[in-house]
Amino acid sequence: MTGSAREFVVEADGGSRGNPGPAGYGAVVLDAATGETLVEAAEYLGVVTNNVAEYRGLLAGLRAAAELDPDATVHVRMDSKLVVEQMSGRWKIKHPDMKPLAAEAARVFPPGRVTYEWIPRADNKHADRLANEAMDAGARGEQWSPSTSTAELDAATDRAASAGRTAGSRRSGDRPAAAPAGAGEAADVAAAGGDAPSAGEPLPRTTTRTGAGSAASGGGEAAVSGGGAIAGERVGRAARTGAGSAVPGTAEAPAAADVRAAKVVASPGWGPPDMGAPATFVLLRHGETPLTPQKRFSGSGGSDPSLSPVGREQAERVAESLARRGTIEAIVASPLARTRETAGIVAARLNLAVTVEEGLRETDFGAWEGLTFGEVRDRHPADLDAWLASPDAEPTGGGESFAATATRIAATRDKLVAAYAGRTVLLVSHVTPIKTFLRLALGAPPESLFRMELSAASLSAVAYYADGGASVRLFNETSHLR
């Protein structure tokens, strides 16, 4: 091995919907020192077993690491006890479908340069989500594409949301108890003909990891809006969230620890570790109207414009993107024309109905409706200054204050969280309501509304848990428009 050889962590997983059934794998290569994601791989395999899919994921991860640096050392982490024990040489490989795959995996790197570790399934979310994306693509008659993957983002934000809920078990230097392999894993071992460890043989150790997403910021329509692209590629991928450990079996370098600590977004408190599936709101701002590029105030008290041709094209593009992701279970829209039209285009693509919710409407900007910021400054300077200084101030002519909007959105949020617990729902709304959802989830002050950019037809997302905690998972995603 040369002095410049790198150290990688490979996380891999595979799954089969039927065992055997439609199957796929996912694998990710991480920089061992920083946790940065270097390569993602996934593939739909057709009909095979869980264990074959897991071995195919391992093989893909090792090959990807070898392409980055054939002289590297690699630490493999998988939630398949069978694969970890067999590749570590502690269990025999009896199944004829797995013997050649294991032999091929063993040849990617010379002996002694690859180590194996079992981790709980909850700590292998990135690879698991890649495998499921591959299976979902196969169900649509497609192959997985990295350009549409949200696995890194979803896994990182899930870990971030759970980090605060499990912090109590890790405080004061305590280590979490090792989680046993599940009953499903034991069934896989038996079905594959693997040998169980003898009495007293140590089980693979567990690893606890954390990660976080990131958000971009800017401004929206009129005084609180406008066009603009997301900061970086895609949220989550720009910050390269996710966690890795330093060199396996050694103390983590201080620089690596600083990197990881800076990426952790945790809810406060000592909540229980499993709050169940959250209600996830995917927040879609409507497509452009004729007023949007002119940056005019366009609330719920104005002309109620429809989408422009550009806005309809934007809605078609976001509909296609959401169809590829395949996670939306219901659609709820503001009653205004531009949101109902955007929601209708998406609903037709997803084959879902649209429910109209009055609470999602835009703020009423009173006498400022249809005016630009400069025109309001010229005509109503004192009222504008007061509005910029206080969330309780109303626009000229009896419009709605930001404080009143926040009260309305909070009530709407609570109503929808109760109605859609554990489900992923698309909320088609406007600049101020969507920013307010995000502000309330973050506990940010009212003035933060002026420091966020929300583009037309952009996607944001917030997950709400049973204990009242919230996790911002996405902000101003616009890659589908490019």
Looking at the annotation, which residues are catalytic?
Answer: 286, 362
Which ranges of 252-292 would DSSP assign to H, the alpha helix? Answer: 254-263
Q: Which residue has the tokens 């949007």?
A: 292
- Asked whether 165 and 66 are in contact (CB, 8 A), the reply is no
Residues 6+ apart with CB under 8 A from 452: 217, 218, 219, 220, 435, 438, 439, 475, 476
Phi, psi of 189 (to 5 degrees): -60, -45
Strands (E) located in 82-187: 114-118
As given in the structure block, the two tokens for residue 362 are: 């835009």
As given in the structure block, the two tokens for residue 181 are: 């392999």
Rounded Cα distance, 365 and 436, in Å = 16
Rounded Cα distance, 227 and 475, in Å = 14
- Asked whether 414 and 359 are in contact (CB, 8 A), the reply is no
Residues 6+ apart with CB under 8 A from 174: none
Rounded Cα distance, 425 and 416, in Å = 9
- Asked whether 345 and 377 are in contact (CB, 8 A), the reply is no
Give the CA count within 13 Å in the CB-facing half-sphere of 290. 6
Rounded Cα distance, 265 and 475, in Å = 15
The phi-psi region of residue 337 (left if phi > 0; otherwise alpha if psi is between -120 and 50; otherwise beta) is: alpha
